[in-house]
Structure 1
Amino acid sequence: MIEISKIFHFEAAHALLGYDGACRHIHGHSYRLIVTVSASASSRGYLPAPGLLFDFKALKKTVQEQVLDKLDHALILSTEYLNQHPHLAQAENIIEFPAEPSAENLLIYIRDSIIQAFPQDVQLERLQLYETETSFATWHHTSTENTKN
């Protein structure tokens, strides 16, 4: 199997309601997102012309439109956080998130945002979302998941 990956960057702030630590306060990250896809490829020989499994430009366009245009330079807060801090609802570029916007939950949001945008023969294999250089969450496709429905 051949996979291709593309790295993206975006800036966003969030807070984690109920967390017993500094992350309960609004703070920001310079996120790094790695998106990996695969597609059907012959196990013998080279890929036919133009020799691409999936166009990097198409991957970039999908992630840009479905994820980065929404999350970049946004303040991402859960509905419950906004209910407890109603004055924040008036701030600019707030994204009301249905769950606490942890790296893990953001991955689920990103997966659900882009998976249907790919052609049928392209499979989303893996997502990695880095909050810092050394801290990241990973989602990967499993054979029991039906992610194209």
Structure 2
Amino acid sequence: MSTIRITKQFSFETGHALYGYDGKCRNVHGHSYKLSVTVIGSPITDPNNVKLGMVIDFGDLKKIVKEEIVDQFDHATVFNQNTPHKELAEELSNRGHHVILVDYQPTSENMVVDFAIKIQKRLPSHIKLFSLRLQETESSYAEWYASDNS
């Protein structure tokens, strides 16, 4: 039986600010994120299964990632819940903006860990999350690999 990795790519727009940072990213700004989600498993071999030959239906993977990540983070502004930007976050929320307060500094590194946890919880037991790649800019990205985190 073959083990196969498949990857689905997503994109979303998110704003954030890095509390306490000593550079420009301490200011509220946004990114056009690209998220690549790679899962690993064996293709279905049951000829009576409508998903014969698939590790996981790309549509099923899309549903999980869309619900857990894209729908939550797209066009949202993410702040560390301990930030002094809390008043700004409250003001934005009161004006109908989608604000997410997280318990971490919203860097690509921390976001990719958060995303891995969320996606893993939703995958079928026979499918494993292999890796994530969260691209923040054209030349900068963070990667998460299951093999590094077991």
Fold in common (TM above 0.5): yes
1:21 partner letter: G
Cα distance, 1:144–1:102 mapped onto 2, change above 3 Å: closer
Q: Distance in 1 between matches of 2:115 and 2:68?
A: 8
Q: Distance in 2 between matches of 1:63 and 1:24?
A: 28
Alignment gaps of 5+ in structure 1: none
SS at match of 1:116: helix
SS at match of 1:4: strand
2:136 maps to 1:119? no
Cα distance, 1:126–1:144 mapped onto 2, change above 3 Å: closer
Q: Distance in 2 between matches of 1:144 and 1:65?
A: 24
Q: CA deviation at 1:56?
A: 0.3
Of all paired residues, the percent bearing the same amino acid is 37
Residue number in structure 2 paired with 1:30: 32
Residue number in structure 1 paired with 2:89: 88
Deviating above 6 A after TM superposition, structure 1's stretches of 4 or more consecutive aligned residues are none
SS at match of 2:125: coil
Aligned length: 140
Q: Distance in 1 between matches of 2:149 and 2:139?
A: 30
Q: Residue 34 of structure 2 contacts residue 135 of structure 2 at CA under 8 Å; is this kept in 1?
A: yes
Q: 2:135 aligns with which of 122, 130, 138?
A: 130
Q: CA deviation at 1:85?
A: 4.1
Cα distance, 1:27–1:144 mapped onto 2, change above 3 Å: closer
2:147 maps to 1:142? yes
Q: CA deviation at 1:84?
A: 4.9
RMSD of aligned residue pairs (Cα, Å): 1.7
Q: Distance in 2 between matches of 1:144 and 1:27?
A: 30
Q: 1:67 aligns with which of 66, 69, 72?
A: 69
1:40 partner letter: S
Q: Residue 14 of structure 2 contacts residue 31 of structure 2 at CA under 8 Å; is this kept in 1?
A: yes
Q: CA deviation at 1:40?
A: 3.1
Cα distance, 1:53–1:89 mapped onto 2, change above 3 Å: same
2:111 maps to 1:110? no
Q: Distance in 2 between matches of 1:55 and 1:65?
A: 16
SS at match of 1:3: strand
Q: Distance in 2 between matches of 1:87 and 1:138?
A: 30
Q: Distance in 1 between matches of 2:82 and 2:62?
A: 32
Cα distance, 1:144–1:78 mapped onto 2, change above 3 Å: closer
